[in-house]
Every structure is written in structure tokens, then in C-alpha cells.
Amino acid sequence: MKVILLNGSRREKGCTYTALSVVADTLKENGIDAEIVHALPDDAIVDAVAEKMKTADGLVIGSPVYWASPSGEIISFMDKLAGKAGAALTHKVGATVTSARRAGTTATLDVLNKYLSYHQMVSVASNYWPMVHGNTPEDVKKDEEGLQIMRTLGRNMAWILKCIEAGKKAGIEAPATEAKIMTNFIR
């Protein structure tokens, strides 16, 4: 089993990456392969992730807070990914993570979670909002509660993935999906 973790920050090894690293390490400790991708909205990166999602079992979308919203980079990336790999996302296990100096995290999570809902993904929760606080990676590493939330998220995701795998082995299939009709409302 494999999970792709998307770092939607402009900083490749910043606060969001630090939070995602904790989730990835916890997944690995629980027998789940995990790969963090710096999710810049470059077509080659989007194409690579779209290809990986064909065989991946889960996705974690991470973003810092910019003006009480996810980064423009992750929004653009997810919009492109949805167009290229929408069917490959359907019924996968998903989670969202955000990082902030102080505020805007719940608004950011709300936007990111809509990508999970639209693709009928199984949304994994932690024991609190999946967020970390800090202005630098070093600050995030001092956010004991945030790190504990990331570890719990990783354990919960590993458990859900293993439950789904056991269901598949028992002959239980994902529900059928109706064809989606996309309408362009922009005139």
C-alpha cells in the first residue's frame, strides 16, 4: 500500500513539509509506503502524480495558510490533478493537513477537504484539526500537540487502508460510480 503526500508550499522543506514528514514516518512505521511530492503546479509534476495515483491507495494534501486559504500553488495543482486523474482519485483514502503561524487553518482545511469530497474519497480524521503551528520548521517541531495530531492522523490512515484492504480480500468492492457530467459555468 502507498500514500502520496502533496506539499503545497512554496518552500520545499518548510513547515508543511515538516508536518507531512511526521505523517509519512508514521505511515511507514505502520507498514505503508509514503512519498512526499513538492506539488508545484508544473504540468510534468502533475502528470507524474496523476500516474502515481493510478496505483496509490491514499492521498494527503498539505498546504500552508496564505490569507486564510490554501496556497495558490496547491489549488492550481489540485485543479489540474482533478482534470488529469479524477477517476484515479475516486474512492481512495484521503486526508488534509495545514500549517500556519497562527490562524486561518480551519478555512484552509475546508477548501482542501472539498477535493476529497468531490472525488468520493474516504476522509481520514485525527483527534483534532490536522494542523501545526509555527513560523519555521523548528517552531513546528516544538508544537507537541500538532505533531501528536499528525502521528494520530498517520496511524488512523494506516488503519483505514488496512481495513479497506481486508475488505477487498473478503470480496467487498467499492460502490459503483455514476458518470460525472461537468458543466462549464464560466461564460
According to the model, what pLDDT value does residue 161 have? 98
Going 60 to 64 to 70 to 73, the CA torsion angle's sign is negative
According to the model, what pLDDT value does residue 183 have? 45
Give the global pTM.
0.94
Q: Which fold has domain 1-168?
A: Rossmann fold (3.40.50)
Which residue type does 92 have? Answer: K
Instruction: For 127-182, write each residue's pLDDT tens digit.
Output: 999 999 999 999 999 999 999 999 999 999 999 999 999 999 999 998 887 755 44
Better-scored residue on pLDDT, 86 or 16: 16
Contact by Cβ (8 Å): 23, 60: yes
Stretch 64-79: mean pLDDT: 96
Confidence of residue 43 (pLDDT cuts 50, 70, 90): very high
Going 30 to 32 to 33 to 39, the CA torsion angle's sign is negative
Contact by Cβ (8 Å): 54, 84: no
According to the model, what pLDDT value does residue 179 have? 59
CB atoms within 10 A of CB 65: 24
